[in-house]
Structure 1
Amino acid sequence: MPRALWVTAAGEVALLDAPLPPRADGQLRLRMLASGISRGTERLVLHHRVPESQYAVMRAPLQLGDFGGPVAYGYCGVAMVEEGALSGRRVFVLAPHQEALVAPAHFCTPLPDALPTHRAVLGANMETALNIMWDARPLAGERALVIGAGVVGLLAAFLLARFPGVQVTVVDPDASRAAIARALGADFRAPAEAPADQELIIHASATEAGLNLALSRAGFEARLIEASWFGAARPALPLGEAFHQKRLQIISTQVGSVSPAMRGRRTHGERMALALDLLRDDRLDGLLEPPIAFADLPRHYAALLERPALCPLVTYPETTA
C-alpha cells in the first residue's frame, strides 16, 4: 500500500498508509517521481500554526486529513501517469509527499519535454513568483528590491531580471545566497547595505525585520508587494514616519487567485503551464538542495524546515531524471 508523510502531532511526522481509491473517469493514477518541500508553509503546518480562520483557504488541493489533526500536506509533486488520459507522461501535481495517488486530470499539468523532473518540483514556487510579477507590474528601468533570498524571492528576482533595464537587488542576511542571486541576474546585499529609493519592492522574508526594511528603503510612491505569509504572527509596522508623505502602497499577493491583472485572461492551468515553461533554465538547479529518499524523510523533515535550506528535494523509488 502506498504511504504518505503525515503530520501526526505538532512537530511530529511519520510515514503512514494512504490508500488509493478506485480511479474514476476524468482521474489519473500517478506514481510520484519527486517532490519539493515548501519550507515556510510546511513549517507552519508541522507546528500547527495555521490559523483556524484560514483552514479552508490554506487547504492544499489534494491534502489528506485536516489541519489541527493528522494531515498530509504539500503541493510540489512531479509524477508519472500510470493510468488515464495522460498515461506515460510526466505531470506536475499539487499533491502531498506520497508514493502514489489518484488525482483529477485538471489538477495535473504535463511537463515540457525538456524540463528535468527534479527541477520541475519548483513549479508551485515559480507559479507564485509569476503571480507576484502580475501583481507587481514591473516597468522597464525600475529599481527593484527583493527582500528574502528564499526560493520564491530568488525566482521573483530571476523574473524581474528579464525586464529591460530593471536593476534588481536581492537582500538577505545569509551571504551564501549571493552566488545564486548573481547567477540569476541580480545584485546581492546584506540588509544593512540595502539600497534606498527603490521603486518596486518584493518582500519575501516572512519576517517583521524584513518588512520594516522594505518600508525604510522605499522611494516616493513605491509599490511594496507583500509575498510572505505570516500565519498567525502579527508583525508591527511603522506606518507613521514617512509612510504617508511618500505615498507608499502595500499590495498583497497570493497564488490562490490569479492576479487581477490577468484574471479572466489566464486560467490556473494556463498559469501553471507558463510557470513550468519558465523553469527551462539550467541556472535554476541552484535552488535545489541535495535529494533525500522518501523513506528517510521523517528523520530529516523537521530539521530541513528549520535550517536555511532552499528547496529540499524528495526522491521516490524508480525516480528518473
Structure 2
Amino acid sequence: MKRLSLYFSGPEEVEVREEKIEPPRGDSVLVENEFSAISSGTEMLFYLGRIEEDTIIDKGIGGLEKKFDYPFKYGYSSVGKVKEVGKEVSEEWKNKLVFSFHPHESRFITKTDNLIPIPSGIESEEAVFLPSIETAINLLMDGRPLIGENVLMMGQGIIGLLTTSLLNEMPLSSIVTSDRHQLRREMSEEMGAELSIKAEKNEEEFYLDDGLPDSGADLTYEITGNSDTLERAIRLTGLEGRIVIGSWYGDINSEIKLGTQFHRKRLKLISSQVSRINPEYSGRWDKERRLDLAWEYVRNMDLRKLITHEFSLKEAKKAYNLIEKDRRKILQAVFKY
C-alpha cells in the first residue's frame, strides 16, 4: 500500500513523496484522508523557515514532537474515513468519519486515541475548521469581553474572522476590525463587524473617526502575524484596556515602544495560545469540553463559504506560493484527496 506525503524540505520548498505503508496491526487503524486545511499563520512560518532555532515543531501532535529541522511533515487539520482496522480495534470504527491533528498526507496509520469522531450532520469540508474555531474560542476566553465593550480586531484571516463571528454573539457596543485585503474586510462585515477598515499606516484616524470612541478600545485582539501591528494596538487601546496577542511572530524581530502610551494607560498584554486553557478555568474547563463547544459552532456556522481554494496534494507548491504571494484572493485553502 502507498501514500502521498507532503514534506517541507527547505525555506519555501515543499515536495510530495510516495511512501509505502503497511496495513494496520493490533490497535492501529488506516485513515484515508478527504481534506486537510492549510494554515496561513503558523504553517506559513514553517514554510518560510521563519522559526527560532531549537523550536519544537508541535508538542501536541505525535510525530512532530521534535526540533525544527528540514525535512519534516506538517499540518494539523485532517479529515478522513477509517478504512481498515487492526485485530484489536472494534469493527465499529470502519467507515467512521474522523478528525485528526495530523500532517498532510493521503492516508496514514494511527491509533484510535489520536482520532476524534466527527458528529453527525457535519460535512468533511466543515470539520477541517475545528482547530481554528477552537483557537477562536480560546481567544475569547483569554480576552474576557464584557457587556457593552468596544472591541478592536486587528487581522481578519480565518482565525480573525471566526473570532469576529463569535464576538458578534455577545452584547458588545461595537466590533471594529481591520485587514489589508478587501475580500477579508467584506467577509468580516458579513460575519458581524460593525466596520472593517483597510489596514495602513494612517489607519488610526479612521478607527477614532468612524469606529472606536475617543477613549479607545476596551479590548484589542492582535491576530495579524505582523509584530509592528502590536505598537498600533497599544496606541488604539484605551486606559487599562487589554490586548490579546494571538499572533506567533516566529523569528521576526521588531522594535516596540513600551513608553508613555503603554505605561500611563496601564495596559495589559495577554498571550493567547490554544494548546493550553487559562488555569483560572481549569476547575470547569478542559480540552474535551472546549472541543465539544467547537463542534457546536462547526455545526451551526456557514463555514464552507470561507473555503476559496481547493488543491490536490501534488499542487502543494502552487498552494503555498499563492498564500505567500497573493493573499488578496484567498481565505481558506484546503487539500482535497
Does the 8 Å CA contact 1:79/1:91 hold for their aligned counterparts? yes
160-169 or 215-224, which deviates more: 160-169
Specify which of 306, 312, 315 is matched with residue 333 of structure 2: 312
Does the 8 Å CA contact 1:123/1:275 hold for their aligned counterparts? yes
Task: Tell me, yes or no, if structure 1 residue 55 matches structure 2 residue 62.
Answer: no
CA distance in 2 between partners of 1:26 and 1:234 (Å):
46
Q: Secondary structure at the match of 2:128?
A: helix
Deviations 1:221-266 (A, max 9, x none): 1110000000011222221022121110000011111232432433
> Could you say which residue in structure 1 is the equivalent of 2:238?
219
Specify which of 143, 146, 150 is matched with residue 143 of structure 1: 150
Task: Tell me, yes or no, if structure 1 residue 134 matches structure 2 residue 141.
Answer: yes
| Cα shift at 1:105 | 2.2
| Cα shift at 1:32 | 0.4
Q: Secondary structure at the match of 1:280?
A: helix
The aligned runs of 1:23-62 (5 Å cut-off) are 23=24, 25-55=26-56, 57=58, 60-62=61-63
| Cα shift at 1:267 | 3.0
CA distance in 2 between partners of 1:20 and 1:264 (Å):
42
AA partner of residue 198 (structure 1): A
**Relative to 1, partners in 2 of residues 1:276 and 1:242: Cα closer, same or farther, differing over 3 Å?**
same
Q: Normalization by structure 1: what TM-score?
A: 0.90
CA distance in 2 between partners of 1:265 and 1:16 (Å):
44
CA distance in 1 between partners of 2:51 and 2:147 (Å):
38
Deviations 1:112-156 (A, max 9, x none): 222221121111111111111111111111111110011111111
151-160 or 174-183, which deviates more: 174-183
Q: Secondary structure at the match of 1:244?
A: helix
> Could you say which residue in structure 2 is the equivalent of 1:10?
11
CA distance in 1 between partners of 2:26 and 2:267 (Å):
51
Does the 8 Å CA contact 2:153/2:160 hold for their aligned counterparts? yes
Does the 8 Å CA contact 2:243/2:270 hold for their aligned counterparts? yes
> Could you say which residue in structure 1 is the equivalent of 2:187?
180
**Relative to 1, partners in 2 of residues 1:43 and 1:100: Cα closer, same or farther, differing over 3 Å?**
same
> Could you say which residue in structure 1 is the equivalent of 2:316?
297
| Cα shift at 1:74 | 0.4
CA distance in 2 between partners of 1:230 and 1:101 (Å):
31
| Cα shift at 1:165 | 3.1
**Relative to 1, partners in 2 of residues 1:109 and 1:234: Cα closer, same or farther, differing over 3 Å?**
same
> Could you say which residue in structure 1 is the equivalent of 2:197?
189
Does the 8 Å CA contact 1:109/1:273 hold for their aligned counterparts? no
The aligned runs of 1:1-321 (5 Å cut-off) are 1-20=2-21, 23=24, 25-55=26-56, 57=58, 60-63=61-64, 67-82=68-83, 83=85, 84-85=89-90, 86-187=93-194, 188-191=196-199, 192=203, 193-194=206-207, 195=212, 197-308=216-327, 309-316=330-337
131-140 or 80-89, which deviates more: 80-89
| Cα shift at 1:24 | 5.0
Determine which structure has more spread, i.e. the larger CA radius of gyration: 2
| Cα shift at 1:56 | 5.4
**Relative to 1, partners in 2 of residues 1:25 and 1:269: Cα closer, same or farther, differing over 3 Å?**
farther
**Relative to 1, partners in 2 of residues 1:296 and 1:242: Cα closer, same or farther, differing over 3 Å?**
closer
| Cα shift at 1:18 | 4.1
CA distance in 2 between partners of 1:27 and 1:261 (Å):
37
Q: Where does structure 2 lack aligned partners over 5 or more consecutive residues?
A: none
Q: Secondary structure at the match of 1:74?
A: coil
AA partner of residue 30 (structure 2): R
Q: Where does structure 1 lack aligned partners over 5 or more consecutive residues?
A: 317-321
**Relative to 1, partners in 2 of residues 1:299 and 1:154: Cα closer, same or farther, differing over 3 Å?**
closer
CA distance in 2 between partners of 1:257 and 1:295 (Å):
34
**Relative to 1, partners in 2 of residues 1:224 and 1:2: Cα closer, same or farther, differing over 3 Å?**
same
Does the 8 Å CA contact 2:57/2:67 hold for their aligned counterparts? no
| Cα shift at 1:75 | 0.3
Q: Secondary structure at the match of 1:279?
A: helix
Give the number of aligned pairs.
Answer: 316
